Amino acid sequence: MIPTTAKATGNYLNSILAVREAASRGYDEAILIDMYGNLAEGAVENIFLIKNGQVLTNDQNSSILLGITRASAIQIAKDLGYPVEIRNLKLDELFDADEAFLTGTAIEITPIREVDGRAIGDGARGPITEAVQNTFFEIVAGRRPEYQHWLHPVRIEAGVRKAA
């Protein structure tokens, strides 16, 4: 087995197959479970659940790649005053969640409205997801000075990008 913490091209084969299967069934994304039937992650994203005001996400033993955007969402949630619990997540917890979202480099922070035709919460982006998402967008736009150390400015001179 290839360690899930290795960001290796071969690890994405399972994700590609999962997305293809999801698309063939009319869904936008796949959510994967681990060998024990627990939630793992999206095809190439980490998953977060919100229940009773608490933010929940998987730990490193949950067959996940520990993403940078995941770490950012955890820190943002804590900074906003939401309790964060990192542990194995059960599939029923997804269906019983008040809110859910995915994180990843390409999708940033994206709410989950429904899974298998079942609404998550009230079927819309929830207030905690919105707060974490909006804060993330403000940070990447450079509008949150307290997070400036997360950013690495890139200058554009004569059409050439140069790292600052």
* Domain layout of the chain by residue ranges: 9-163
Percent of the chain with pLDDT over 90: 63
pLDDT score at 8? 59
Rounded Cα distance, 40 and 90, in Å: 9
User: Are the C-beta atoms of 4 and 64 separated by less than 8 Å?
Assistant: yes
Other beta carbons less than 10 A from residue 137's beta carbon: 13
Q: Above 60 in pLDDT, residue 1?
A: no
Averaged pLDDT, 141-149 = 96
What pLDDT sits at residue 3? 52
Which residues neighbour 76 within 8 Å (Cβ) at sequence distance 6 or greater?
A: 132, 135, 136, 139
As a CATH number, domain 9-163 is 3.20.10.10
Q: Report the distance separating Cα 77 and Cα 135, nearest Å.
A: 9
For residue 56, give Cα distances in angstroms to 94, 112, 140, 145, 148: 10, 14, 23, 27, 26
Look at 19-23, 70-74, 86-90, 158-162 and tell me which has the smallest mean pLDDT. Answer: 158-162
For 9-55, the pLDDT digits (tens) are 566 777 788 889 988 998 899 999 888 889 999 988 999 999 999 99
Q: Which of 7, 51, 78, 90 is catalytic?
A: 7
Active site residue 90: no
Mean pLDDT over the full length of the chain: 89
